[in-house]
Amino acid sequence: MAGRDTQASAVDTGPVGAEIEEERRAEAYAGEPPFKTEPVSNRLVVALKDAAIAGLITLALAGPMIGLRTETAIGGLSLSQHWLPVAVTVAVVALGRLVLNLFVWNRAPGAPSPVGGVADVGGRGAASLAALLDKWRWQAMVLVIVFALAMPFMPFAGRYWMDQAIVVLTYCMLGWGLNIVVGLAGLLDLGYVAFYAVGAYSFALLATNFDLGFWVCLPMAGLLAAGWGLILGFPVLRLRGDYLAIVTLAFGEIIRIILINWYDLTNGPDGISGIPRPTLFGIPFERGEGGFADLFGLEYEPIQRIIYLYYIILILALITNLVTLRLRRLPVGRAWEALREDEIACRSLGINTTNTKLTAFAIGAMFGGFAGSFFATRQGFISPESFTAIESFIILAVVVLGGLGSQLGIVIAVIFLNAAFELLRELQEFRMLIVGMAMVLIMVWRPRGLIATRQPSVFLKKRQAVSADLVGEGRG
Amino acid sequence: MEYFVQQLINGVTLGSIYGLIAIGYTMVYGIIGMINFAHGDIFMVGAFIALIALVVLGVTATTPFVILLLALLLVIVVAMSLSAVWGWTLERLAYRPLRGSFRLAPLITAIGMSITLQNFVQISQGARVKPVQPIVTGGYAIMERDGFVVQISNIQIVIILVTVALMTGFTVLIAKTALGRSQRACEQDSRMASLLGVNVDGTIALTFVMGASLAAVAGLMYVLYYGVIDFYIGFLAGVKAFTAAVLGGIGSLPGAMLGGLLIGLIETFWSAYFSIEYKDVAAFSILAITLIFLPSGLLGRPEVEKV
């Protein structure tokens, strides 16, 4: 309003120069500061009102769902009432909202969302971390690899920690494989677990039917998964974005349904058991004559097999990482990233988008297949249960939470998620609930993932990390 | 022939339920251009709210007709309004903070919300399936030959009638009212709409609310028709309803209904004539085939890509 008045008066008195007008404008604004701080009492009232509304909404949400629990009873359903948890939930939400409003967000309710401010704080912390990592890049990498290699011989590395390490590495490998498709080529794939399943079942079927060993089957499983990657990739080439996501999701479900129903081949929901364990050049990790311990003159311990499995997955994961890093610098890798940034520009520059997308799908799928065969040989038993859509979501969540396209971010996200799972083991029921809420919160807090900088593979003079905000996420 | 007619009736009923869910997808996709991944779970929550309301009111098949009718109306209102709150909260928590952020972010939060909702219901209501005694019973025999009776049950009539009524209501709402106008304005160009004084955030929230309340009606119908629900019904129903929305042409209300009907019919006939195990494969394959050969759906407008 003030600005308009000034202008009107300026017209009345004729042109008097920009200087005078500016002064007047400043004067006019002085009476009406745009960022007036509200009196504290008023803020308290507003915050209380806001908290009350939040509490009421929570009551509407939680009241019937938590307060009234349907129980199976004779002759239909009966209700049991649980009002205490409802009261606790409502109180937590209302009080939490009040505290956040008064002390954390420090703003009048109704003002723009606080997310930007919070993200800034997080962004700064992570930027300095990334800068530090950038500086000590090689040293950090060597340190981590040496630690990973030496881990089985550390005093704390019992059965539990080795198992955890194997799980972490398996998911790292899956995350890195999916990262090629989603992070580098920008193709949103929600059915990645299908390739994991193809790899696992290929290995299981080849090993149980034709008596082949792990090392023979591993490349075959990878190839078969890559083949399926092509089969899926070919029809969906023209799809973009969310459509691609939903078709790949459907594809993952189709594979699972076929695995459940093709009883003759896959043994249906009962799964395949008796999958052979991996051997070291034909030496099995077994007790007694001809086993690993016997040949090397060691005391037999079951953990020897676990350590061997650990080294297999460590090497597989490192290969995945190395191949991805090298591929990024090859023409095909650059084409992936170019495709992610702008498909139309790519096409106009003569990049064959069909081949580019297909290679991304196939190579990503191949690593999924490798991880799948490893999973099968580690478990010794597989069933369609292990390959549900939720598994795909977890792998995708790892990639996105870590930061699309960031290899390191994926490792951090896997360790974080795995630690969360383990810490919440006591709260068996609440585990997935908390993981789901954490996904939402982390995404709201840091939409670009935990590692918010990217290393460009091409640069003019000096390699310099760029903010993830400058990197396209692909549109299909 | 009789078998065919019977399957036709079953398919239309199933298709009506899918259509009601599909509207939620299609409206949200139309307005913000994103798949509301948690919509299937909102449908599941709606089904649970309806179930709880039914149990609270204690209606059974023996309740007198007038009271039954009133009770069902009450259940519809309760389920619709409470699910609307769920839909609003979903938008507020998972979508609004990320508006203008990069495109994958809301998809991830939606997946997170979907996991959260499923596990929330699993914890609060238990993981076991909830069986409900049939409430709306009876039906009419339409045709009979060689001992095969074609039946249309009362519940099927109710489902089809409610769906038609709601569809008509919503089509009018979108086409004639100020709310519908601002919604279409946001669909076409949300920035321009906000410049012209349309409350874009409010309109988007209302879209979620409407989608959620229709999903709640679908949930009630599901409870009444199948008599069994659990916390996992949202996933499959959601994907199929999304297929329906895509098949009909995403962003188009009549398209969603048409797509729902087609998916319902295809699924029913597939189970009836081919194999019941692979009925989900049929639905998913149709999704893929539609997207590949007819990306804009049956009634949708082709998407023009701007450089």
Task: Return the residue matching tokens 């759906």.
Answer: B297
B48, B113, B124: best mutation site toward chain A, by most A Cβ within 10 Å? B124
Query: Could A238 and B132 be called an inter-chain contact, meaning their C-beta atoms sit closer than 8 Å?
Result: no
One domain for residues A105 and A91: yes
Helix, coil or strand: residue A179: helix
Query: Could B239 and A253 be called an inter-chain contact, meaning their C-beta atoms sit closer than 8 Å?
Result: yes
Query: Could B104 and A473 be called an inter-chain contact, meaning their C-beta atoms sit closer than 8 Å?
Result: yes
A109 pLDDT band, cuts 50/70/90, is very low
Final residue of a domain: which of A111, A134, A154? A111
Residues of B in contact with A433 (CB under 8 A): 115-116, 119-120, 123
Q: What is the pLDDT of residues A377-391, one digit of tens each?
A: 888 888 888 888 888
A56, A58, A66, A68: best mutation site toward chain B, by most B Cβ within 10 Å? A68
Which residue in B124, B86, B35, B71 sits closest to B216, CA to CA?
A: B86
Distance between CA atoms of residues B164 and B160, nearest Å = 6
A4 pLDDT band, cuts 50/70/90, is very low
Mean pLDDT is lowest, of A14-18, A272-276, A338-342, B256-260, for A14-18
* Cβ count near A33 (within 10 Å): 8
CA B299 to chain centre: 18
Longest CA–CA separation in chain B, Å:
67
In sequence order, what DSSP letters do the residues of A311-345 get, joined into one string? HHHHHHHHHHHHHHHHHHHSHHHHHHHHHHH-HHH
CA distance B176 to chain A (A): 30
For residue A248, the chain B residue with the least C-alpha distance is B288
Q: Is B104 on the interface with A (CB under 8 A)?
A: yes
For residue A69, what is the enclosing H or E element? strand A68-73
What is the reported pLDDT for B216?
Answer: 92
One domain for residues A169 and A269: yes
Residues of B in contact with A81 (CB under 8 A): none
Backbone angles phi, psi at A77, to 5 degrees: -105, 150
Residue A150 belongs to a domain: yes
Q: Which of residues 224-243 of B touch A (CB under 8 A)?
A: 235, 239, 242-243
Query: Could B112 and A444 be called an inter-chain contact, meaning their C-beta atoms sit closer than 8 Å?
Result: no
What tokens were used for A367?
Answer: 């690593």
What is the reported pLDDT for A120?
Answer: 44
Q: What is the sign of the dihedral through the CA atoms of A244, B211, B219 and B44?
A: positive
At residue B263, what is the residue type? Answer: I
At residue A332, what is the residue type? Answer: V
Distance between CA atoms of residues B185 and B191, nearest Å = 10
What is the reported pLDDT for A9?
Answer: 44
Residues of B in contact with A404 (CB under 8 A): 104
Contacts (Cβ under 8 Å, ≥6 apart) of B30: B187, B250, B251, B252
Distance between CA atoms of residues A122 and A215, nearest Å = 45
Contact between A207 and A196 under an 8 Å Cβ cutoff? The reply is: no
In sequence order, what DSSP letters do the residues of chain B get, joined into one string? -HHHHHHHHHHHHHHHHHHHHHHHHHHHHHHHSS--TTHHHHHHHHHHHHHHHHHHHT--TTS-HHHHHHHHHHHHHHHHHHHHHHHHHHIIIIIGGGTTS-THHHHHHHHHHHHHHHHHHHHHH-SS-EE----S--EEEEEEETTEEEEEEHHHHHHHHHHHHHHHHHHHHHHHSHHHHHHHHHHH-HHHHHHTT--HHHHHHHHHHHHHHHHHHHHHHHHHHH-EE-TTHHHHHHHHHHHHHHHH-TT-HHHHHHHHHHHHHHHHHHHHHS-STTHHHHHHHHHHHHHHH-TTTTTPPPPPPP-
What percentage of chain A exceeds 70 in pLDDT?
77
Distance between CA atoms of residues A443 and A459, nearest Å = 30
Distance between CA atoms of residues A23 and A9, nearest Å = 13
Query: Could A247 and B116 be called an inter-chain contact, meaning their C-beta atoms sit closer than 8 Å?
Result: no
Query: Could A76 and B246 be called an inter-chain contact, meaning their C-beta atoms sit closer than 8 Å?
Result: no
Which residue in A358, A354, A368 sits closest to A396, CA to CA?
A: A368
Which of B35, B48, B108 faces A400 most closely, judged by CB atoms? B108
For residue A348, the chain B residue with the least C-alpha distance is B307
CA distance A476 to chain B (A): 11
Q: Which of residues 246-275 of B touch A (CB under 8 A)?
A: 246
One domain for residues A151 and A18: no
In sequence order, what DSSP letters do the residues of A273-305 get, joined into one string? E-PPPP-BTTB---SSTTSHHHHTT----THHH
What is the reported pLDDT for A209?
Answer: 84
Distance between CA atoms of residues B238 and B42, nearest Å = 9
Which comes out higher in pLDDT, residue B202 or A454?
A: B202
B111, B243, B285: best mutation site toward chain A, by most A Cβ within 10 Å? B111
Distance between CA atoms of residues B130 and B18, nearest Å = 21
Residue A476 belongs to a domain: no
Which comes out higher in pLDDT, residue A24 or B50?
A: B50
pTM: 0.81
CA distance A54 to chain B (A): 10
What is the reported pLDDT for A417?
Answer: 85
Final residue of a domain: which of A111, A142, A174? A111
Residue A35 DSSP code: T
Strands A272-273 and B139-145: unpaired
Contact between B292 and A236 under an 8 Å Cβ cutoff? The reply is: yes
Residue A216 belongs to a domain: yes
Residue A103 belongs to a domain: yes
Distance between CA atoms of residues A80 and A68, nearest Å = 6
What is the reported pLDDT for A7?
Answer: 45
Residue A346 has pLDDT above 70, yes or no: yes
CA distance A174 to chain B (A): 18
CA distance B187 to chain A (A): 17
Helices (DSSP H) in A115-210: which residue ranges?
A: 115-135, 137-150, 159-179, 193-210
Q: How many CA atoms lie within 13 A of A11 on its CB side?
A: 5
Burial (CB count within 10 angstroms: exposed 0-12, middle 13-18, buried 19+), residue A415: middle
For residue A414, what is the enclosing H or E element? helix A407-423
Distance between CA atoms of residues A392 and B248, nearest Å = 27
A290 pLDDT band, cuts 50/70/90, is low
Mean of all residue pLDDT scores within chain A: 78
What residues does each domain of chain B span?
A: 19-231
The residue-averaged pLDDT of A10-17 equals 50
CATH assignment at residue A304 = 1.10.3470
Domain hosting A299: range is: 121-470
What is the reported pLDDT for A2?
Answer: 43
Which of A77, A115, A257 faces B97 most closely, judged by CB atoms? A115
One domain for residues A169 and A232: yes
What is the reported pLDDT for B55?
Answer: 85
Residues of A in contact with B281 (CB under 8 A): 254, 257-258
Residue A13 DSSP code: T
Which of A66, A430, A432 faces B115 most closely, judged by CB atoms? A432
Backbone angles phi, psi at A458, to 5 degrees: -120, 135
Which of A247, A397, A440 faces B288 most closely, judged by CB atoms? A247
Which residue in B48, B50, B40 sits closest to B114, CA to CA?
A: B40
Q: Is B68 on the interface with A (CB under 8 A)?
A: no
For residue A246, the chain B residue with the least C-alpha distance is B239
Query: Could B281 and A432 be called an inter-chain contact, meaning their C-beta atoms sit closer than 8 Å?
Result: no
One domain for residues A100 and A162: no
Residues of B in contact with A78 (CB under 8 A): 55
Residue A380 DSSP code: S
One domain for residues A235 and A138: yes
Residue A116 belongs to a domain: no
* Cα Rg, chain A, nearest whole Å: 29
Residues of A in contact with B84 (CB under 8 A): none
Distance between CA atoms of residues A207 and A373, nearest Å = 10
Query: Could B239 and A246 be called an inter-chain contact, meaning their C-beta atoms sit closer than 8 Å?
Result: yes
Residue A242 belongs to a domain: yes
One domain for residues A268 and A128: yes
Residues of A in contact with B307 (CB under 8 A): 344
Distance between CA atoms of residues A350 and A335, nearest Å = 10
Distance between CA atoms of residues A107 and B3, nearest Å = 66
Q: Is B2 on the interface with A (CB under 8 A)?
A: no
What is the reported pLDDT for B109?
Answer: 86
At residue A337, what is the residue type? Answer: E
Which residue in B136, B137, B14, B140 sits closest to B75, CA to CA?
A: B136
What is the reported pLDDT for A233?
Answer: 82
Per-residue pLDDT of chain B (307 residues; tens, 9 = 90+): 778 888 888 888 889 999 989 988 888 888 887 888 889 999 999 999 998 888 888 777 777 788 888 888 898 999 999 999 999 998 888 888 888 777 777 888 888 898 889 888 888 887 788 888 777 777 777 777 777 777 888 888 888 898 889 888 888 888 888 888 888 888 888 888 889 888 888 888 988 999 999 999 999 999 888 888 888 888 888 888 888 888 888 777 888 888 899 989 988 888 888 877 777 888 788 877 877 787 777 777 666 555 5
What tokens were used for A258?
Answer: 């076929």
Q: Is B114 on the interface with A (CB under 8 A)?
A: yes
Mean pLDDT is lowest, of A165-174, A284-293, A413-422, for A284-293
Distance between CA atoms of residues A372 and A202, nearest Å = 9
CA distance B2 to chain A (A): 30
Q: Is B302 on the interface with A (CB under 8 A)?
A: no
Distance between CA atoms of residues A242 and A388, nearest Å = 20
CA distance A57 to chain B (A): 7
Mean pLDDT is lowest, of A20-34, A159-173, A278-292, for A20-34
Residues of A in contact with B287 (CB under 8 A): 246-247, 250
CB contacts < 8 A, A to B, total 183
Residue A104 DSSP code: I
A61, A65, A88, A399: best mutation site toward chain B, by most B Cβ within 10 Å? A65
One domain for residues A104 and A181: no
For residue A68, the chain B residue with the least C-alpha distance is B52
One domain for residues A19 and A144: no
The residue-averaged pLDDT of A73-77 equals 69
Q: What is the pLDDT of residues A193-252, one digit of tens each?
A: 999 999 999 988 888 888 787 888 888 989 999 999 898 888 777 776 677 887 888 888
Mean pLDDT is lowest, of A242-251, A406-415, A463-472, B278-287, for A463-472
Query: Could A436 and B116 be called an inter-chain contact, meaning their C-beta atoms sit closer than 8 Å?
Result: yes
Residue A78 has pLDDT above 80, yes or no: no
Which residue in B173, B266, B167, B282 sits closest to B218, CA to CA?
A: B167
Query: Could A396 and B120 be called an inter-chain contact, meaning their C-beta atoms sit closer than 8 Å?
Result: no
The number of distinct structural domains making up chain A is: 3
Residues of A in contact with B235 (CB under 8 A): 389
Query: Could B98 and A241 be called an inter-chain contact, meaning their C-beta atoms sit closer than 8 Å?
Result: no
Final residue of a domain: which of A74, A91, A111? A111
Distance between CA atoms of residues B140 and B124, nearest Å = 39
One domain for residues A201 and A314: yes
Task: Return the residue matching tokens 């991304």.
Answer: A360
Which comes out higher in pLDDT, residue A394 or A131?
A: A394
Residue A53 belongs to a domain: yes
